[in-house]
Amino acid sequence: MRKVRMLDLTEQYKNMREEILETIDEVISSSHFILGENVKKLEEDIAHLSNVNHGIGVANGSDAIHIALQAAGVKEGDEVIAPTFTFFATAGSIARLGAKPVFVDIDPITFNINTSEIEKAITDKTSAIVPVHLYGQMADMTIIKDIANKYGLAVIEDAAQAIDAEYQGYKPGEIGTAATYSFFPTKNLGAYGDGGMIVTHNDEIAEKSKVIRVHGSKPKYHHHVLGYNSRLDELHAAVLNVKFKKLSDYSKLRREKAEFYSNRLAELVSENVTIPVEKEGNYHVFHQYTIRAEKRDELKDYLKENGIDSMVYYPNSLHLQPVFKYLGYKEGDFPVSEKATQEVLSLPMYPELPKEDQEYIIEKIVEFYNK
Ligand SMILES: *Cc1c(COP(=O)(O)O)cnc(C)c1O
The CATH architecture to which 10-244 belongs is: 3-Layer(aba) Sandwich (3.40)
Encoded amino acid at 82, one letter: A
pLDDT band at 224 (very low <50, low <70, confident <90, very high): confident
Ligand 1 atom nearest to CA at 195? 7
Dihedral over Cα of 109, 114, 116, 117: its sign: positive
Judge whether 135 and 290 are in contact, CB under 8 Å: yes
pLDDT bin (cut points 50, 70, 90) of residue 309 is very high
Gap between the Cα atoms of 332 and 102, Å rounded: 16
Alpha carbon of 64 to ligand 1 centroid (Å): 9
Residue whose Cα lies nearest atom 5 of ligand 1: it is 61
323-326's contacts with Cβ under 8 Å and 24+ in sequence apart are 324/91, 324/95, 324/101
Give the angle subtended at the CA of 179 by the CAs of 181 and 261, to the nearest 5°: 55
- Ligand 1 midpoint to CA 256 (Å): 24
- CATH label, 247-370, candidates 3.10.270.10, 3.20.20.20, 3.40.1260.10, 3.90.1150.10: 3.90.1150.10
Amino acid at residue number 66: H
Q: Beta strands of 201-326 (E only): which ranges?
A: 273-274, 282-283, 289-293
Q: How far is the CA of 360 from the centre of ligand 1 (A)?
A: 30
Strand order in the sheet with 344-347: 273-274, 289-293, 344-347
State yes or no: pLDDT of 169 exceeds 90: yes
How many C-beta atoms surround the C-beta of residue 143 within 10 A? 14
- Give the pLDDT band of residue 1 (cuts 50, 70, 90): confident
Q: How far is the CA of 364 from the centre of ligand 1 (A)?
A: 31
| Residue 281 CA to ligand 1 centre (angstroms) | 25
Pocket test for ligand 1, best of 85, 90, 96, 197 (most atoms within 8 A of CB): 90
Peptide bond preceding 219 in cis form (omega within 30 of 0): yes
What is the Å distance from ligand 1's center to 156 Cα?
14
7-65 pLDDT, tens digit each: 999 999 999 999 999 999 999 999 999 999 999 999 999 999 999 999 999 999 999 99
CB neighbourhood size of 124 (10 A) = 7
DSSP code of 279?
P
Cis ω for the linkage preceding 192 (within 30 of 0):
no
Ligand 1 atom 7 nearest Cα: 61
| Environment class of 369 (CB within 10 Å of its CB; exposed 0-12, middle 13-18, buried 19+) | middle
Secondary structure class of 13 (helix, strand, coil): helix
Q: Are 166 and 282 in contact (CB under 8 A)?
A: yes
Contact (Cβ atoms closer than 8 angstroms) between residue 319 and residue 106: no
- Which helix H or strand E contains 347, and what residues bound it? strand 344-347
- Residues with C-beta less than 6 Å from any ligand 1 atom: 60-62, 86-87, 89-90, 132, 158, 160-161, 182, 184, 194, 196
Q: How far is Cα 277 from Cα 81, in angstroms, rounded to an integer?
A: 25
β strands within 40-171, DSSP E: 54-58, 79-83, 100-104, 126-129, 154-158, 166-167
Domain positions in the chain are 10-244, 247-370
CA 110 to chain centre: 14
Distance CA 286, CA 253 (A): 10
Nearest-atom number in ligand 1 for the CA of 134 is 13
Indicate the pLDDT class of residue 172, thresholds 50, 70 and 90. very high
Mean pLDDT score, 140-155: 98
CA nearest ligand 1 atom 2, residue: 160
| Residue 183 alpha carbon to ligand 1 centre in Å | 8
Distance 188 CA to ligand 1 centre (A): 12
- What confidence tier does 356 reach under pLDDT thresholds 50, 70, 90? very high
Q: In what helix (H) or strand (E) does residue 198 lie, and over which residues does it extend?
A: strand 196-200
Contact 347, 359 (CB under 8 A): no
Atom of ligand 1 nearest to the CA of 287: 15
Tell me what pLDDT residue 363 has: 98
Among left, alpha and beta (phi > 0; psi -120 to 50; other), residue 51 is: left
Cβ atoms within 10 Å, residue 112: 23
Global pTM value: 0.98
Q: Mean pLDDT score of the chain, rounded to an integer?
A: 97
Pocket test for ligand 1, best of 6, 58, 60, 62 (most atoms within 8 A of CB): 62
- How far is ligand 1, taken at its centre, from the CA of residue 357, in Å? 27
Neighbours of 152 (CB within 10 A): 8
Do residues 11 and 352 lie in contact, with contact meaning Cβ atoms separated by under 8 Å? yes
Of how many residues is the chain composed?
Answer: 371
Q: Which atom of ligand 1 is nearest to the CA of 86?
A: 13
Q: What is the pLDDT of residues 230-277, one digit of tens each?
A: 999 999 999 999 999 999 999 999 999 999 999 999 999 999 999 999
Helix (H) or strand (E) holding 254: helix 247-268
User: Could you report the per-residue pLDDT of 75-116, keeping only the tens digit for each?
Assistant: 999 999 999 999 999 999 999 999 999 999 999 999 999 999
Ligand 1 center to residue 68 CA distance, Å? 14
Burial group, residue 305, by CB count within 10 angstroms (0-12, 13-18, 19+): exposed
